[in-house]
Every structure is written in structure tokens, then in C-alpha cells.
Structure 1
Amino acid sequence: MEKQAYYIQVANGEIQSRSDVSPWEFRIFANEKEIQDLRGLFTEMNEADSRTFWRTHLPAVPYHMDKDNDQYDKRMMEVYDKLYELGDEDTRSHIKKMRNEV
């Protein structure tokens, strides 16, 4: 399968095949299977994020003791791992710098 450039915005899970459609943060090179996998990760991350909404209404449950937040964090890390794997030099450099700052 041939790889092509895709432009990613993590906050809204947007994957574009053109750089001029909307703002983007990361450029990756992926085939159709890899894009399907990335879309699946974004879907899982968004589902976990929706579940965390209800916890915000229960101040007695701290963020660090909530399994839904743990799932969201795990899915977000999987998204960044995939972006690092598929990313161009700038994408990899930026993600590496993000990891070192944490």
C-alpha cells in the first residue's frame, strides 16, 4: 500500500489529506490501513473523553482516581505514539520534545 501525506489536528481528531483545508499540527505519511487505525484511536479517545464529562460533576472523585480519565490518558498516548511512528521529521521532533517536557 502506498503512503501519502496527511495533516492531523489532535484536539478535534481531524485527519485531512490536504494541508490547506484546516489548521493542522502534525504531518504524517500513512496508507489507508494506518489511517483507519488512527481514526479508531481518535474514536476511542473521544469516547473516553465523553465518559469523563460525568466525573467533572462529582467533585468528590479526584481526577487521578478516575478510571475514565485513565482510559482517556491512555488513548491519547496511543494517538501520539501512532503519530510519532508515522510522522515526518518535524512531527517526531515535536512529539519527542513534548515527552521530555512532561
Structure 2
Amino acid sequence: MEKKTYYVNIASQEISQIPYGNNTAYTIEATDEEITQLRAKFNEVHEDDFGTFIRAHIPYVQYHQDTENDEYDTDLQQVIQMLYQLATPETKKAMDESDLDI
């Protein structure tokens, strides 16, 4: 399959073929199937985020005993690892130089 260039913003969970605004933080080369997998992983992060929002309103559950936060952290780490695997050489270099735990 043919790989295309995509621009990804983790914070907004945006995946675009058009660079604009602040969506150029991560530039990747991916097939349609890989983009579908990345979108599915972003959807999991979004669902996990909602779970952490609900959990935040339960004061007696501490963070270190919170499975919702653990799931969020795990899924977000998987997104970052996937981005690294698909990253252009320039993006990989920037990720290597950053404080991201890949």
C-alpha cells in the first residue's frame, strides 16, 4: 500500500493530510490501514479521558489506585510509540531529542 504524509496533533487528536495551525508537531508517513489503527487508538484515549473525568469526581479513589488513569496512560503511550514508528526522519529526531518516554 502507498504511504501518504499526515500531520498529527496529540492534544487535539487531529490527523490531517493538510498542514495548518499547530497540527505539524508530528509528521508521519502511513498507509490508510495504519491511519485507521492510529484513529482507533486515539478513540481509545478519548474514551479513557472521559473515564478519568468521571473518576475525578470520586474523591476517595486515589490516583495510584485508579485503573482509568492507568488505561489512559497506557493507551497514550501506545499512540506515541505508533507515531514514532511512522514518523519521518525529522520527526523521529525531534522525538529522540524531547523528553518523551518512547
Paired residue secondary structure (1:44): helix
Cross-structure match for 1:86: 86
Q: 2:99 aligns to what SS in structure 1?
A: helix
Secondary structure of the structure 2 residue equivalent to 1:58: coil
TM-score by length of 2: 0.89
2 CA distance for matches of 1:99 and 1:51? 24
CA distance in structure 2 between the partners assigned to 1:48 and 1:10 by the alignment: 14
More deviation in 52-61 or 32-41? 52-61
Q: Which runs of 4+ in 1 moved over 4 A?
A: none
Report the 3-state secondary structure (helix = DSSP H, G, I; strand = E; otherwise coil) of the residue aligned with 1:29: strand
What is the percentage of aligned positions where both structures have the same residue?
Answer: 36
Aligned to 2:12: 12
Structure-2 separation of matches of 1:78 and 1:33:
16
Q: Where does residue 47 of structure 1 map in the other structure?
A: 47
| Alignment size in residue pairs | 100
The match for 2:100 is 99
Across the aligned residues of Structure 1 and Structure 2, the Cα RMSD in angstroms comes to: 1.6
TM-score normalised to structure 1 length: 0.89
1:78 partner amino acid: Q
Map residues 8-87 of structure 1 onto 2, 5 A cutoff: 8-20=8-20, 22-24=21-23, 25-87=25-87
Q: Which blocks of at least 5 consecutive residues in structure 1 are unaligned?
A: none
Cα displacement (A) at 1:47? 0.4
1:60 to partner: Cα distance: 1.7
SS at the partner of 1:35?
Answer: helix
Q: Is the 8 A contact 1:27 1:87 kept in 2?
A: yes
**CA distance, structure 1, for counterparts of residue 8 and residue 39 of structure 2:** 11
SS in structure 1 at match of 2:22: coil
Distance in structure 1 (CA, Å) of the matches to 2:2 and 2:40 = 20
